[in-house]
Structure 1
Amino acid sequence: MTPRAYEGDYQGEKAVWLQAGGYEAVLLPEIGANLIALRDLAHGAQLLREPGAGEMTAFREKPFVHGIPVLFPPNRFENGKFPWNKATYSFPVNEEATGNHLHGFLYDQAWTVEGYGTTPQESYVTVNLRVDEAHPVYRHWPHRFTMRLRYALSADGLAQQVFIRNEGEAPMPCLFAFHTTINAPFASGSTARDCRVKLTIGERWALNERMLPTGIKQPLTAEEQALQGEGVYPFFAAMDNHYTARPQNGRNRMELTDTRVGRTLVYDVGTSYKQWMIWNNFATEGFFCPEPQVSLVNAPHVDLPAEEIGLFSLAQGEIWEESARLYMK
């Protein structure tokens, strides 16, 4: 397949389409730079959950459970408060059941397309979001910064690079995650019962009734031990669970195998992500979310060493970046 990159339409939304190496991907720059589709054309597999016909309105209202949304800052914050550097940031409480703020501010923002194109081996697109005093995000997150995403498609799958630079004077907390939404099954003709998932999890964090970590770690169940090892049916129980990451063989990854067709989707996220969040929609077959996360949920409120919970900052001009890859084997 000759690499292609072009602007087009995706269910009525402006999109950048990539094709290369038997894969196809679609990015929606004006809805949070969501990588809404990743398809293995050579094998007829749809790897990410996409909005179905008639679901685009619901997707725009709640763009967390399709594609690869950006979470910044990620997950839940107690009472919508964020203590940092002798100040307290206030976020809207948008999860009424828990009284928390959920998922940050970037998943529905319009990003700028820096460029797209091809090389002999790949197609690519780069987008950025720049926040300053004039940007609506600044009133909740009072820092000047640039975030950049680059996606490249080739015979080696989808390469993802995230870049964050602090452009303000004050130290900025660097809290980041992807709410990646994986189809299970991903292959046409298979069922969820054909799927086995493996994840490089370590220990499970105990959560209180507000879904916030208590700082205590819990022993894994037999099914979670299988998740660490030989793999397990992704919907063995309802999961809205938070784990430490424990890389295996030098890599931090999820592997989803379809035993019927004998193919595996690998999501290798990089070792900067010290935590995993796993959500499987109340054990409803169809999709689940292995969410690589830099920091512990609600980290600024947790009295544990910053290094252990992934709580760190960027000084003026400093950059954090990480790479990931989704591919079939």
Structure 2
Amino acid sequence: MNRTDPSEYRIEGGGYTAVVLALGAAVRELTHDGRPLVVGFGAQEAMPNFRGAFVAPWPNRIEDGRYAFDGVTHELPVNEPERGTALHGLVFDVPWTLVEHTGSSVTLACTIEPVAAYPFEVALEVRFAVDAQGFRTSITATNAGSLRAPYGVCPHPYLVAGPSPLNDWVLELPAATVLTVTPDRLLPVAKEAVAGTPFDFRTAHALGDVQIDHAFTDLERDGAGRATVRVTDPIHGTGTAMVWDGSCPWVQIHTADLPLKPESTRLGLAVEPMTCPPDAFNTGEDLIVLDPGATHRTGWTISAL
């Protein structure tokens, strides 16, 4: 498919090429000088394992699909039946409207319409752009309704360091705290220090056979307030980095261990900057509450190393 195909949009610049779908605003492909930076999927293939998904108005899971907000209990569709959770929001599988498409950028929009499960109206606009600094994503969410709205957002790319197996990749994850989860449903248990655990990648080292599907916080940031996760392939001398600012105090890391899908297992490392942790609609931790007319902005950048 080419840039004129209304089902997807190709952008190019600074050595980067990205393909973004109109369905779900999903990132189907991202390369730098022809080298894949994410695990992609085919033009005629349904999005597997949420690769490149845009996740809103909540990241990760909501227990039993049930939450209470402003004294009212709501029930969301449970789309992860094996764990009994509502997973990854409401917009990853709906069509988005084209706002603008240039050679190096594309802007898409989608409005979450009020329904019983989420009786709030939130207008989303996302801009994807490429330049010499990388592949940039910028998101604006505006409460277009009359009720206060709970909100969270994250991306879902599986980063690729290089052609070596994931076990050989080196991860640098500047997070001091991990959110432990239940082994069966991956629901939050408690925040714990990473020191002395298999999840301490503050000093970069090989992933090995560790299995990660956890949220991390207490991120070390640079002088501009940016956190950076790097994954490198030391054998081939390549890597991929993801950078974001303080609007995302959390990041979900997933080594893509998928026992029911061995062909998709450990192909890439999911790195998902999040505005709030899993099940924040219930815990309230770092949950964004948009008053009517209020706007929230965030974003992130993926770049080649």
Taking structure 2 as the reference length, the TM-score comes to 0.88
**2:91 corresponds to which of 87, 90, 106:** 106
- Cα RMSD of the aligned pairs, angstroms, is 2.3
- Deviation digits for residues 231-257 of structure 1, max 9, x if unmatched? 222353111112214133232121112
CA distance in 1, matches of 2:30, 2:133: 13
Instruction: Map 1:180-259 onto structure 2 (within 5 A).
Output: 180-183=157-160, 185-187=161-163, 190-208=164-182, 209-225=184-200, 227-229=201-203, 231-249=204-222, 250-259=225-234
Residue 257 of structure 2 is aligned to residue 300 of structure 1: no
Instruction: Give 1:214 deviation, angstroms.
Output: 2.3
Identify the match of residue 25 of structure 2 among 19, 27, 33.
33
Residues 218 and 210 (structure 1), Cα distance of their counterparts in 2 relative to 1, 3 Å cut: farther
Flag structure 2 segments of 5+ consecutive residues without an equivalent: 259-264
2:215, 2:253 within 8 Å by CA — same for their partners in 1? yes
Q: 1:318 to 1:300 in 2, by over 3 A?
A: same
272 and 301 in structure 1: CA distance in 2 versus 1, 3 angstrom threshold: same
1:21 is aligned, of 14, 20, 24, to: 14
Label 1:131 to 1:205 Cα distance change in 2 as closer, same or farther (>3 A). Answer: closer
Query: What 5-or-longer segments of structure 1 have no aligned partner?
Result: none
* Among 149, 153, 177, the residue aligned to 2:154: 177
Map 1:18-97; keep pairs closer than 5 Å: 18-29=11-22, 31-41=23-33, 44-52=34-42, 56-57=45-46, 59=47, 62=48, 64=50, 66-97=51-82
CA contact (8 A) 2:188 2:278 kept: yes
Structure 2 CA distance for aligned equivalents of residues 285 and 75 of structure 1 = 19
- Give the secondary structure class of the aligned counterpart of 1:301: helix
Name the count of aligned residue pairs: 295
1:157 aligned to 2:134?
A: yes
1:109 offset after TM fit, Å?
0.8
Normalising by the residue count of structure 1, what TM-score does the alignment of the two structures yield?
0.82
Q: How big is the shift at 1:127?
A: 0.3
- The code of the aligned residue for 1:314 comes to L
Secondary structure of the equivalent of 1:286? coil
Inter-partner Cα distance in structure 1 for 2:29 and 2:297: 23
More helix as a share of residues: 1
Q: State the identity as a percent.
A: 23
Are positions 1:278 and 2:275 aligned together? no
Cα separation, partners in 2 of 1:28 and 1:243, compared to 1, 3 Å: same
Q: What secondary structure does 2:281 align onto? A: helix
Tell me the amino acid that sits aligned with residue 235 of structure 2: R
